[in-house]
Structure 1
């Protein structure tokens, strides 16, 4: 079977800035076919923003590709702002963008944190969703947060773990996440920047099956490292602002009628496969592709293949 690759690069045909309240303005790009099938790309992070490669998972002749940057992320302003920045603000922003762009309903496409927000949005507005394509599932449960930031992943990445915890005094390492958050959101800019560098390196080295120097350099870039790390920690310490650990699992019944494809790397370090498995046990109608030779990144060949195959299949349907 031929392995599918990304579509050719495509430039946006429109860009918008929408005032969503609370001093926030969100940036939105549109690419592809203005009369095509509407799809919203829900980016990860939170706090990471969008990049040109994200437009390339869709046939530009068949899709109207809508790429919003979430509050505080990318070109949305103010960068890194934590006030009035919760999952439910982001859900409301997506719904506002949909209305402002005159879209009746759209396909939801997201990975990692984008799978979290995509599920939250779909469960809040199921009538505005035509289907979901989700990758690297993250439900922000305590077990998942502990795996990444406290006890679990350090067993697989011991040398990188030492780099990650180095900025935190030993006496505070019983709650590394909160210790980081105090520093990232604190007033000492030098300490915050040092912690941001270590935090984002930890995120980067665990986002691919093997370390990607380019990704590490990108995620630790001077202009974005602190805002991105602050927002990530903000959402993590607050458990994604969900009312219960299993809120997204318990809400699946609201969207089980929608076509859904879930794509998961077998060796995903930051979003372990058990989470995707738990989701599909509650959602047996969804199609699960467990990619045997992949980690977390959407750009690993097996993940890319299934994402492109899924968007093509949805367009044909």
Structure 2
């Protein structure tokens, strides 16, 4: 995911090479998550590192990054907080790759609050990202996350380019999203997807909507609106490489969609463990 981070024209740079050591987030035990930064250099309101290795302890899921830049161009967020901001992003990436929070991490605080980054606009860029678990790997050439607003709500822009997943044939090669998180410091957040755009083969995926994440899918809620162009072509592109159940699922999804020119549209809802597509309940409940 890429973003212009040539805003780091900071003066009085203190070049202090870092020594790699295992760390974790305040309040998060090493039995849940740990990471190690290598080749760190700090300056006022900025941090760079040549490597990061992180893991969800006991899961065999790892994250490796070969180049990191984290900074607050507004000059408000301290370097130590920027490191935590970067660590939270690493923890989120590992949890997303796993498909949910690991058992050892249930109920753990992420160790960073909205007040820690207000009124700044912290940003992070990662290069040559690799997520791995046995039999499954994902690489990203460049990724970025930018807090463009931190008050009253947290608004983030994330981008990715050069994405490849060994097990997900529909994984977009490019992705960008504009998200707003309300209630960051509360027990119940709402995530608004202001805009999402992705490219997979010859298809473009666009979406918007809201998500209220709960502890499980059955306690979560969602109201999403998604469009995909050239779905028939996309099915043809993956027919010989994707598992049959993926091709079948996409074929069924196409039949449930509404057509608008070359785009297929879906309104997707989740409430009380029941998923609806274009207001039609699916014949199963999610756990």
Indicate whether the TM-score tops 0.5. no
Q: Normalising by structure 1, report the TM-score.
A: 0.28
Q: Normalising by structure 2, report the TM-score.
A: 0.30
Structure of higher RCO (CA pairs closer than 8 Å, 6+ residues apart): 1
User: Greater strand percent: which structure?
Assistant: 2
